[in-house]
Amino acid sequence: TLDDGAFSATGSDTQWIAECCKELRRNRCVGLPTETVYGLAANALDAEAVSAIYAAKARPSDNPLIVHVSSMRMLRALYYLPPASSGATPPFLGTANAGPEGAGAGLAEPVAVASAMADAEARDREQGGDGVWPEIPRAYHAVIRRFWPGPLTLVLPRPACVPLAVLGGHGDTVAFRFPAHPVARAAISACGLPLAAPSANASGRPSPTAAAHVMHDLSGRLPLIVDAGACDVGVESTVLDAYSATAHVDGELAPCILRPGGVTYEDLRALGGMWQRLRVYRRDFTSAALELAPTTPGMKYRHYAPTAPVHVFVPGPQSEAISARMQAQIDTLALKGVRKVGVVAVAVAAAAGDDVPAPAFVAPAGCELIVHCVGGARELAHSIFALLRELDEIEHVEAILVQGVVDANEGLAVMNRLTKAASHHVLC
């Protein structure tokens, strides 16, 4: 359930969990899979553990981190822990393996926290509240019930126990996520600590969607990477703000997507009510009119970029036109002496059930083409980071051309990442 987040691991699973807990409890970083991308995780309650994250991926220290929890109970408990201070014994907030043999053995479960939570609930009920999660702004309750655990991050008030290092010096909020991936949940729950985790790429590189990507970028800088295969979603979580000043217009709540991701704008709007007023921050999109400020701090950095220049083609009304434009660009690059080009094409069905034509490209004389074709926006999101890495790090192409998709539903997040990767080569 959302509240207890219990997860039990058995058999051969217990070895990696034990290793993982050992490192995390020593305040070291671990590479962990989530359903979105791999994360570089460490104890979110310890400033030194958090600094180790920034150092390992050479991340600018003013870009705040997402804190991951494995239950609502863990998240709520944070609001009752004492302020961050060095030297305090870390609490045990997990549920899995807490018994005499398990990872939580010997760690005191903070009883005071549980009774403070119960008191808060009782007060909330007395004051006519609905008796649940009084620590969490009410605007989020429906979102949490609908989308957690999952690829959604929420901007919440900062619990005093979260050190300022996590916030990157920004305001009084902390971004929290309750991931759905069973391995991430098991690790968080078993070590009993909330984990700060950015994507486990070297800063500025495409996000890692496989353990090999983490190895490539961070090998030698972490004691442990847990390999659970390819990530399902493939782009990062949606960062949603329905709390801070950014989420208010003239004193009224006006929720805002700070980073599009695994949970779509359309999914959130479908909640109805005030979610009909949901806005999307899109500085990198073609319409300047949609720009909102201020925004999520991470947006100002160049992101997701392979070494080879990326060219993104924004779809027009006809899909034939886009492949013709891509072919023209391939020909131009070849004339300029480019000898190896990577292409990511999208086969677009005109109607559901139609046979999908894969766009065909012709290699100009003296120029090799490496073509990958995906079957639509969801599949593009799932594989884009892995394809950018493969074309760049393995095929060593000199340019990458990507056929874009319409920026709706799953397409919004992937076009957001692609326009960043392409910086000025966005071709409409």
By CB under 5 A, residue 238 contacts Mg ion:
no
Is residue 341 exposed (0-12), middle (13-18) or buried (19+ Cβ within 10 Å)? buried
Quote the tokens at residue 40: 């570089």
CB of 86 to ligand TXA, least distance (A): 22
Interface with ligand TXA (CB under 6 A), residue from 49, 155, 162, 421: 155
Residue 199 touches Mg ion, criterion: CB under 5 A: yes
The binder of 419, among Mg ion, ligand TXA, none, by C-beta within 5 to 8 A per type, is none
Of 140, 28, 24, 161, nearest to 88 (Cα)?
A: 161
Cα dihedral 133, 136, 140, 142 in deg (nearest 10): 0
> Which of 134, 298 has the CB closer to Mg ion?
298
Residue 287: CB partners within 8 Å, gap ≥ 6? none
Report the residue number whose CB is nearest to ligand TXA.
Answer: 298
- Contact range with ligand TXA by CB under 6 A, out of 168-176, 349-357, 371-379, 384-392: 168-176
Q: CB of residue 311 vs Mg ion: minimum separation in angstroms?
A: 22
Tokens of 316: 């027009």
The answer to whether residue 64 forms part of the interface with ligand TXA (CB under 6 A) is: yes
Tell the smallest beta-carbon distance from residue 247 to ligand TXA (Å). 10
State how far Cα 354 lies from the chain centre. Answer: 33
In contact, 311 and 338? CB cutoff 8 Å: no
CA-CA distance, 187 to 194, in Å (whole number)?
A: 10
Residue 94 contact, options Mg ion, ligand TXA, none, Cβ 5-8 Å cut-off depending on partner type: none
Partner from Mg ion, ligand TXA, none contacting 162, C-beta within 5 to 8 A by type: none
* Contacted entry of Mg ion, ligand TXA, none for residue 312, CB cut-off 5 to 8 Å set by kind: none
Q: Cα–Cα–Cα angle for 372, 376, 377, nearest 5°?
A: 110
Question: 402, 313 in Cβ contact below 8 A?
Answer: yes
- Of 295, 298, 270, nearest to 280 (Cα)? 295
> CA-CA distances (angstroms) from residue 392 to 229, 307, 341?
21, 7, 10
Which of the choices ligand TXA, Mg ion, none does residue 71 contact, using the CB cut-off of 5 to 8 A by kind? Answer: none
Segment interacting with Mg ion (CB under 5 A) among 16-24, 166-174, 194-202, 337-345: 194-202
Running DSSP on this structure, what letter comes out for residue 304? Answer: S
CB of 200 to Mg ion, least distance (A): 9
Residues 182-201 that bind ligand TXA (CB under 6 A): 197-199
Residue 70 within binding range of ligand TXA, rule CB under 6 A: no
- By CB under 5 A, the count of residues binding Mg ion is 1
Q: Show the tokens assigned to 255.
A: 């929720």
Instruction: Give the contact letters, 100-139, x = binds to Mg ion (CB under 5 A), - = no.
Output: ----------------------------------------
Tokens of 51: 């600094």
Q: Does 175 bind ligand TXA (CB under 6 A)?
A: yes
Using CB under 6 A as the criterion, what x/- string covers residues 240-259 for binding ligand TXA?
Answer: ------------------xx
Q: Closest distance between ligand TXA and the C-beta of residue 41, in Å? A: 8
Cα(401)–Cα(30) distance, rounded to whole angstroms? 34
Nearest to 73 by CA among 34, 117, 108: 117
Contact footprint for Mg ion (CB under 5 A): 199
Contact footprint for ligand TXA (CB under 6 A): 34, 36-37, 39, 63-66, 153, 155, 170, 173-175, 177, 197-199, 236-237, 239, 258-259, 296-298
